[in-house]
Every structure is written in structure tokens, then in C-alpha cells.
């Protein structure tokens, strides 16, 4: 009996002690998580915001990958804990990946309630505070899928914050605490539209992984605007399946994975579980923030505004020159000198070719300039045709991505609106040709503009050749095997003008076919540049005048001086007469004796 009493007493004290300890730990975690809770900035037209996972669970059926029959039509937070395999997925019944049904339902049911999940981890020797955000739908530029998990974390050394890591698609970015924009201890996080990737600056995204659209003109969520829930024993954490539709059959599932339409893994299983099990190791593998890149991003983010200002300045200069030309020599009967086409001669042929070159250059803006594509022939991972790995065009700039099991993996992007530059360059050529009388002068303008059109083609070749200098270490995961991207990139950079290569994957008895080279837009750009150069040569060769120059008559300087001299002389001649009259008048006034 004594032993029982002692045992019960010890057990009671033990439960009280550890119960208080757990409560104290949870309270401490909540306090430190609240201290560094992020401020989230969204673009003005963002449609989804951090939400409680119960929204997705309550509206979803649970399926097994490759099956069109639901396993559970009413899953709960608790029941999901029993599905500890990635063979399952939650399919939101309010819509699909091909429509905005989920977004519409989320927007209609949203009552201003937002949720951010926090986790405090000290397993790596440092204190790491993770903030997980779940979004109802991912509608990014490169892909769209149901559900979206993203995360930012801050690393503390003792009680001092030292660095942060922001998730971006399959990668992310790390930065020192001093590089972070913050309000007190609250780091500022700029969330990209649709994809919800996290960035350190409001002007980022144009240089990065996926050409994301970022800004601070929309909703702003501070720690007082959302519920901060500590991740501890939530049963849904153990759910190892995907948080979104993945495919009703095996072929559909494979296609969904390759196209980025498959739902994401939960926090414990993102990026193979590394983000959860080794947060510091995952963070250290990310790209470091660079202040010089920030400056480049700032320039590119404001590129259109800068371009508009420069365009207005250049137009003002051109208009002033045309005005002076008009005052001096007139502008000729046809105003625009490239319209002087009369008969079969070098002058007319040069102008015709110039107009043709301009039209071809305009068409080149709407087609890819350079394309690298791949066809994966690995069992269970087929692309069923060529899929673009890299594209360079005039609208989106440079986009690099590789197919992955969870969707396209962005490798980098540089968003430069080359089309805008080329289009305005052609407009300037037309304006600059107004009132030019000599074909030689016009021909030089044609040649100069043609050389400018060659610049993008040369840059593309340089960019492709320089890819081989980048130390690629990423691998394309094909399930049972992997392919070294570095080998693929080196093959492309070694033959920048085009080629093809077949990479064998012996582990799975498969192969990957690669093709690369200039696209239709690149060839059109090259042709238009050569045509403009030839047209300029014809104009110089013709060496003619488009119209007779009419010099505006002005009084000669000598005549003006002579006229002014005569006027002065006549005034001087009149002066003695006036003096004589005055003297005579004075003598008449003297009285006689």
C-alpha cells in the first residue's frame, strides 16, 4: 500500500512538473514567434491569402494517386494523420486546376480571417523560428495547382537574429538580418502574385527564379491582422499526401507532376522533408542576397517608367531637329524620306527593303528568339513531346526551368522587355527620316539601325556560351534515377547556334532527348537586321537627292548693315539743318538799337 501511495504521488508530481514545463515552453514559443512575426505585403490584385488549413480539408475529398474513386469524402484533421504515404491527395471539390472555382469560393467565404503557422526549432544548435503559410490556390505564371505551402524563417544566435531564409518555389533566398527590411523585429516579406513566393524587396522577382510579380500596393498583413498558431501536435502534420489534386489516373498524375498542376506536400514533407527536419541546412543551401542584384532589380522593376522618360526626351530632341530642318531646308513633298519610291532604282529599292525589314522586325517580337526543349522518355515520367526548358523572347526575357516530379523547377529568369526597346527603335527610325534630302544620310541611319537589331542576336549567343561557365549542381529527379543538369548545359553552350543530344538514363533504361537553337523570332530578327543594312548600302550607293532643297531667303548681313548705315547717315544729315534753324531763331530774338 505504501509503495502504491509513493508511486501515485511521484506520478502526480511528475505530471504537474512536465505539464507546467510543456505549458511554459509553449508560452515561450508563442512569445518569441510573436516577437518576430513577419509583415506580409501583397500585390494589389492578389486573390488568395494565408488561411487555416481547415478550409481546404473541409472542402476536399481524399483520393489515392491514380484512382478516380475517393478514399474519404469527409476527411478531418484527425483522420488525415493515418495517411502517412505520399500516395494520397486532397482534392478541393469547389473547383479544379483549370478554372477559378476554388478562388471564387475562397473569396466568397473569406471573412477577413487569416492564419499563419509558427514553429520554433532548436535542433541545429540555433533557434529557428519558421512561419508557414497555406494558400487555397496557386495561380502562378508558370503553373497553377490546388493548395500552396510557403515558409519564411529567422535564425537566432542566442537572442540575437542573424539571418533569414525565404522560400521561393523549389528554392529560396537567404539574407543577413541587416539586409532585411523590417519594422522593429518584424521582417517584411513581399509575396508574389499567385505563386506566393517570398521576396526581400518589393521590386524583386524580375531577376530570380520564376519572373514573379511582386509589389506592396495591395493588402498588408501584420501580426495583429492574422492568427498566429503554434505548430505542435496538429494531427494533420503527419499527413504525408499532397494538398491538392494530382490526377485521376496514372498518366494524368505524371502529366500533373510535370506541368506543375499537382498539389504540394505539407510542411513536414516539403523538399523531401529537409525544410522541416533540417531547417538550417536547407536555409544554408539557398542563394545569398546581393545588394548589387537589388540595384539591378530596382532598375528593371522601374524599367518601363525609365524607358518612357528617356523616350519622351529623345522624341523632344528629334522633334526639335525636325523643326530646325523645316526652318532651314523645308521637309520635302513626302515628309518621310523612306517613302520616296519612284521606279526601279537603287534609291527606291533601298526604301522598299527598309519598309520590309521594319515589318519583319515587328513580327519577330511575337515569336521565341531561342528555345531549348526536352522530351523525357523515362517510364512513369514521360513528357509525351517536347517541353521547353529555356526560352528567350522579346516579351518575357529569359526563362529557365526544368521538368520535375512536383512540377517545373525554375532555375532562373531575367525579365527584360526587349520588344519595347526594338519597337521604339523602329519608331525612332521612321521619325528620324523625316525631311532628309540626301540618300547617303538616310542610308547611314538604316545601317546603324540594322546593326542595333543584330545586338540581341549576338547577346543570345554570348548568353548561351556563358551557361557552360555556371557550376550547375542540380539534378533532375526521375524517380529511380537522376540526370546531371551540368552535362546537359555544357552540351548546349558548346554549340550555341543549335543542336541536339540524347542523354541515356541506364538505371531505368530510358533516355532524354534535347533540342536547342534559334526560334522563329530569332531568325526573323536576324533577317530584318540584314535587310536594313543592305537597304542602307543601296541608299549610300545611289547618292541622290530626294527633293530639291529650298533655302529660306534671309536678308544678307551686309545689306542689313548698309541699310542701317543709310538710316544713320540721313539722321546725321538732318541734324545740321535742325541746328541752323535753331541758331536763326535765336538771332531773330536780339532787339535792334
Question: 291 and 315 share a domain?
Answer: no
Q: Helix, strand, or coil here: 318?
A: helix
Nearest C-alpha neighbor of 408 from the set 416, 420, 400: 400
Question: 197 and 331 share a domain?
Answer: no
- Does the structure show a pLDDT above 60 at 153? yes
The residue range of the domain holding 472 is 302-542
- Does the structure show a pLDDT above 80 at 557? no
Determine, yes or no, domain membership for 551.
Answer: no
Determine, yes or no, domain membership for 116.
Answer: yes
The model's confidence at residue 21, banded by pLDDT at 50, 70 and 90, is very low
Question: 292 and 400 share a domain?
Answer: no
**HSE (CB half, 13 Å, CA atoms) of 71?**
19
**Each residue's pLDDT tens digit, 88-136:** 999 999 999 989 999 999 998 866 789 999 999 987 678 999 999 999 9
Determine, yes or no, domain membership for 196.
Answer: yes
CA distance 415 to 300: 8
Determine, yes or no, domain membership for 110.
Answer: yes
Residues 6+ apart with CB under 8 A from 423: 362, 365
What pLDDT, on a 0 to 100 scale, did the predictor assign at position 13? 47
Question: What would the grid cell of residue 435 be?
Answer: 525631311
Question: 388 and 486 share a domain?
Answer: yes
**Each residue's pLDDT tens digit, 400-439:** 877 766 666 666 777 777 888 899 999 999 998 998 989 9
The model's confidence at residue 489, banded by pLDDT at 50, 70 and 90, is confident
Sign of the Cα torsion 353, 359, 362, 368 reads negative
CA distance 274 to 143: 23
3-state SS of 258-308 is HHCCCCCECHHHHHHHHHHHCHHHHHHCCEECCHHHHHHHHHHHCHHHHHH
What pLDDT, on a 0 to 100 scale, did the predictor assign at position 48? 95
Going from the C-alpha of 359 to that of each of 222, 365, 525, the distances in angstroms are 52, 10, 10
Cα angle at 307 between 304 and 312, to 5 degrees? 125
The model's confidence at residue 171, banded by pLDDT at 50, 70 and 90, is confident
**Each residue's pLDDT tens digit, 346-400:** 999 999 999 999 999 999 999 999 999 988 777 666 777 788 888 898 888 888 8
Name 208's bridge partners.
413
What pLDDT, on a 0 to 100 scale, did the predictor assign at position 343? 87
Question: 379 and 508 share a domain?
Answer: yes
Question: 216 and 313 share a domain?
Answer: no
Question: 332 and 197 share a domain?
Answer: no
Count: domains in the chain: 2
The model's confidence at residue 575, banded by pLDDT at 50, 70 and 90, is low
Question: 497 and 532 share a domain?
Answer: yes
Q: Which of 300, 334, 367 is the last residue of a domain?
A: 300
Question: 267 and 364 share a domain?
Answer: no
Residues 6+ apart with CB under 8 A from 401: 142, 210, 388, 389, 390, 408, 409, 410, 411
Question: Hey, which of 166-170, 522-526, 564-568 has the most confident mean pLDDT?
Answer: 522-526
Phi, psi values for residue 591, rounded to 5°: -70, 145
The model's confidence at residue 46, banded by pLDDT at 50, 70 and 90, is very high
Query: What is the residue-averaged pLDDT of the chain?
Result: 84
What pLDDT, on a 0 to 100 scale, did the predictor assign at position 472? 56
Determine, yes or no, domain membership for 43.
Answer: yes
Determine, yes or no, domain membership for 4.
Answer: no
Q: Which of 246, 274, 300 is the last residue of a domain?
A: 300
The model's confidence at residue 593, banded by pLDDT at 50, 70 and 90, is very low
Question: 433 and 326 share a domain?
Answer: yes
Which one has a higher pLDDT value, 376 or 42? 42
- Does the structure show a pLDDT above 50 at 590? no
Determine, yes or no, domain membership for 593.
Answer: no
CA distance 524 to 369: 9
Question: 99 and 188 share a domain?
Answer: yes
Question: 230 and 325 share a domain?
Answer: no
> Any idea which of 10-19, 28-37, 53-62, 413-422 has the lowest mean pLDDT?
10-19
Name 545's bridge partners.
438
- Does the structure show a pLDDT above 80 at 242? yes
- Residues 328-342, mean pLDDT to the nearest whole number: 88
Determine, yes or no, domain membership for 561.
Answer: no
Phi, psi values for residue 355, rounded to 5°: -65, -40
- Does the structure show a pLDDT above 50 at 592? no
Question: What would the grid cell of residue 419 be?
Answer: 520588344
Phi, psi values for residue 111, rounded to 5°: -120, 35
What pLDDT, on a 0 to 100 scale, did the predictor assign at position 469? 72
Q: Which of 300, 321, 353 is the last residue of a domain?
A: 300
Amino acid at each position: 500500500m505504501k509503495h502504491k501511495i509513493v508511486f501515485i504521488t511521484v506520478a502526480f508530481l511528475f505530471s504537474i512538473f512536465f505539464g507546467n514545463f510543456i505549458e511554459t515552453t509553449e508560452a515561450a514559443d508563442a512569445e518569441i514567434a510573436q516577437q518576430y512575426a513577419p509583415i506580409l505585403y501583397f500585390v494589389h490584385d492578389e486573390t488568395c491569402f494565408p488561411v487555416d488549413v481547415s478550409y481546404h480539408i473541409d472542402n476536399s475529398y481524399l483520393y489515392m494517386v491514380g484512382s478516380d474513386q475517393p478514399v474519404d469524402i469527409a476527411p478531418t484533421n484527425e483522420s488525415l494523420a493515418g495517411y502517412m504515404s505520399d500516395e494520397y491527395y486532397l482534392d478541393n471539390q469547389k473547383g479544379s486546376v483549370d478554372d477559378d472555382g476554388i478562388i471564387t469560393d475562397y473569396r466568397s467565404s473569406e471573412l477577413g480571417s487569416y492564419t499563419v503557422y509558427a514553429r520554433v526549432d532548436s535542433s541545429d544548435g540555433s533557434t529557428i523560428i519558421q512561419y508557414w503559410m497555406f494558400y487555397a490556390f496557386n495561380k502562378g505564371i508558370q503553373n497553377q495547382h490546388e493548395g500552396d505551402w510557403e515558409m519564411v524563417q529567422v535564425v537566432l544566435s542566442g537572442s540575437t537574429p542573424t539571418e533569414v531564409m525565404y522560400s521561393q518555389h523549389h528554392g529560396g533566398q537567404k539574407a543577413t538580418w541587416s539586409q532585411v527590411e523590417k519594422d522593429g523585429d518584424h521582417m517584411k516579406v513581399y509575396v508574389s502574385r499567385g505563386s506566393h513566393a517570398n521576396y526581400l524587396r518589393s521590386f524583386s522577382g524580375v531577376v530570380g527564379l520564376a519572373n514573379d510579380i511582386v509589389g506592396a500596393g495591395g493588402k498588408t498583413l501584420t501580426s495583429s491582422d492574422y492568427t498566429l498558431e503554434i505548430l505542435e501536435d496538429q494531427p494533420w502534420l503527419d499527413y504525408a499526401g499532397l494538398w491538392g489534386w494530382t490526377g485521376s489516373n496514372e498518366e494524368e498524375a505524371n502529366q500533373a507532376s510535370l506541368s506543375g498542376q499537382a498539389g504540394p506536400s505539407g510542411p513536414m514533407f516539403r523538399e523531401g522533408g529537409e525544410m522541416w527536419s533540417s531547417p538550417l541546412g536547407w536555409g544554408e543551401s539557398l542563394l545569398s542576397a546581393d545588394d548589387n542584384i537589388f540595384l539591378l532589380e530596382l532598375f528593371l522593376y522601374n524599367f518601363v517608367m525609365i524607358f518612357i522618360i528617356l523616350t519622351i526626351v529623345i522624341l523632344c530632341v528629334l522633334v526639335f531637329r525636325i523643326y530646325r530642318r523645316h526652318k532651314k531646308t523645308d521637309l520635302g513633298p513626302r515628309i518621310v524620306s523612306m517613302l520616296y519610291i519612284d521606279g526601279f532604282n537603287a534609291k527606291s529599292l533601298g526604301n522598299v527593303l527598309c519598309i520590309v525589314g521594319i515589318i519583319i522586325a515587328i513580327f519577330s517580337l511575337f515569336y521565341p528568339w531561342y528555345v531549348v526543349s526536352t522530351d523525357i522518355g523515362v517510364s512513369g515520367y514521360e513528357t509525351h513531346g517536347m517541353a521547353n526548358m529555356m526560352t528567350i523572347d522579346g516579351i518575357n526575357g529569359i526563362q529557365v526551368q526544368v521538368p520535375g516530379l512536383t512540377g517545373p523547377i525554375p532555375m532562373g529568369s531575367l525579365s527584360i522587355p526587349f520588344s519595347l526597346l526594338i519597337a521604339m527603335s523602329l519608331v525612332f527610325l521612321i521619325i528620324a527620316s523625316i525631311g532628309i534630302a540626301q540618300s547617303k544620310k538616310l542610308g547611314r541611319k538604316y545601317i546603324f539601325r540594322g546593326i542595333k537589331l543584330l545586338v540581341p542576336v549576338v547577346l543570345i549567343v554570348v548568353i548561351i556560351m556563358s551557361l557552360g561557365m555556371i557550376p550547375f549542381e542540380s539534378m533532375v529527379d526521375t524517380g529511380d534515377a537522376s540526370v546531371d543538369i551540368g552535362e546537359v548545359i555544357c552540351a548546349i553552350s558548346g554549340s550555341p547556334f543549335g543542336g541536339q543530344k540524347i542523354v541515356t538514363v541506364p538505371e531505368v533504361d530510358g533516355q532524354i532527348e534535347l533540342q536547342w537553337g534559334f526560334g522563329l523570332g530569332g531568325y526573323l530578327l536576324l533577317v530584318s537586321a540584314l535587310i536594313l543594312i543592305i537597304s542602307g548600302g543601296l541608299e549610300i550607293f545611289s547618292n541622290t537627292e530626294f527633293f530639291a532643297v529650298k533655302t529660306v531667303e534671309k536678308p544678307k548681313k551686309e545689306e542689313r548693315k548698309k541699310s542701317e548705315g543709310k538710316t544713320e547717315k540721313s539722321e546725321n544729315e538732318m541734324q545740321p539743318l535742325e541746328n541752323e534753324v535753331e541758331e536763326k531763331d535765336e538771332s531773330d530774338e536780339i532787339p535792334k538799337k
